[in-house]
Structure 1
């Protein structure tokens, strides 16, 4: 099982899933380009370029086929991989991923991307969007703050710009994705919404939706037991659950 994190994060963001699934699977969490220990890819790179990077990663690791789970930007990459080299993807888990943002959401994310070059990495906005005020989210919030504060600004800018403009890159490909595909998000996620997950699943022959009630964007950290249970179900499925 390969895990791909979102913009501004690093492979440690998957810690609860690594701990759970390493007992039953070979688990590989990878730092996205320009994050953690991974080198940047060129400025101006698109989601397609990040998908190509992931294909090279599979080649370098000599992985013929794998279960792929991606969160946020990692979801876009994993979805692009399922569309581009389907024979290498056993199952796909698309966590808190975006799909065809409405005009207001698209304008907002493009504005945030444009502001990075002049204002740097925004550490406050994501925390407000991604977390509620509940005590159980406090630890995840502080970890996320530290990762955002430590991210390479240029690597972040490259990835976020690709993320901001990438919600439609593979949007028409879902009917051709035939592997078991889980679309999971939090009920309170304002940007990767329930409606997006439902729309993608309805277009994917073997896709289904799971919503984590009461949580927002970082559900794998704020509701790890629930997410792990849903991912465990996903790992046993040859077709979508009834």
Structure 2
């Protein structure tokens, strides 16, 4: 992978990895992760596509946003980043918070999105679920990152899950606390920001999750896909929140079909 940076407004830097040539595929990770969190997809798709995996603001080597930044600010940042690449419309995929950003970009600037995919996305959480996420966001403001709880929630004991868990643990332990806190707060309050805009999405839309992801449920995935004009929902059995790492072959196959969908 080639490490690159893109200068954005207000002296902000967007860091990303780029590999391969062909039609562009832009990948946006979730809260606490970094661009490398798409490693199975980067390896697989860079054989035939120009894969661009970007560090979200305040993660990896990308400049963080203001402490009070909302989801819309992350969407605006991503729009600026894609436009600055000067490569036209892209295939845009996001995981977890990245899926909320992907949705926001797709409804705000459809001219920049050829196809869109959301992995383990959230859609209109229940009040109980929203309160739990908001509580975790508030806990982060005290300066404490709970690494073990999400690892236990996301991973089992298989070899592929152990390897993925080691990667994720390292990213969480090394994340910038301020950038992480800002992003998590935006994520906690962001599930409804673009939820009523799904009917505006006309490009091919893949919505994927796992049956064992209690926060990004199969019902959410099916609802989002049903609202998009060309939406497809895929629910992978027995998989949890980090499905792109724990079931890479199934995810890659689903994304390959999505990328081959006519626009």
The structure 2 residue matched to 1:87, chosen from 95, 105, 111, is 111
8 A Cα contact 2:71 2:186, kept in partner: yes
The structure 1 residue matched to 2:138, chosen from 114, 120, 130, is 114
Residue equivalent to 1:197? 221
Q: Distance in 1 between matches of 2:141 and 2:186?
A: 14
Residue equivalent to 1:179? 203
Taking structure 1 as the reference length, what is the TM-score of the superposition? Answer: 0.96
Are 1:28 and 2:75 counterparts? Answer: no
Structure 1 gaps, min length 5: none
Taking structure 2 as the reference length, what is the TM-score of the superposition? Answer: 0.89
Structure 2 gaps, min length 5: 1-24
Are 1:214 and 2:215 counterparts? Answer: no
Spell out structure 1 runs of 4+ moving beyond 6 A. Answer: none
The structure 2 residue matched to 1:53, chosen from 51, 59, 77, is 77
Provide, for residues 174-217 of structure 1, a one-character-per-residue CA deviation record: whole Å limited to 9, x for no partner.
00100000000011011011010011111111101011111100
Provide, for residues 122-166 of structure 1, a one-character-per-residue CA deviation record: whole Å limited to 9, x for no partner.
211211222233343111011101100000000000000000000
8 A Cα contact 2:89 2:114, kept in partner: yes
Q: Is the helix fraction higher in 1 or 2?
A: 1
Are 1:153 and 2:177 counterparts? Answer: yes
Residue equivalent to 1:67? 91
- How many residues are treated as equivalent by the alignment? 239
8 A Cα contact 2:201 2:229, kept in partner: yes
Q: Distance in 1 between matches of 2:228 and 2:161?
A: 32
Residue equivalent to 1:77? 101
Q: Is the strand fraction higher in 1 or 2?
A: 2
Are 1:230 and 2:254 counterparts? Answer: yes
8 A Cα contact 1:121 1:156, kept in partner: no
Q: Distance in 1 between matches of 2:40 and 2:104?
A: 25
8 A Cα contact 2:210 2:218, kept in partner: yes
Q: Distance in 2 between matches of 1:2 and 1:178?
A: 18
In the TM superposition, residue 59 of structure 1 has moved relative to its aligned partner by 2.2
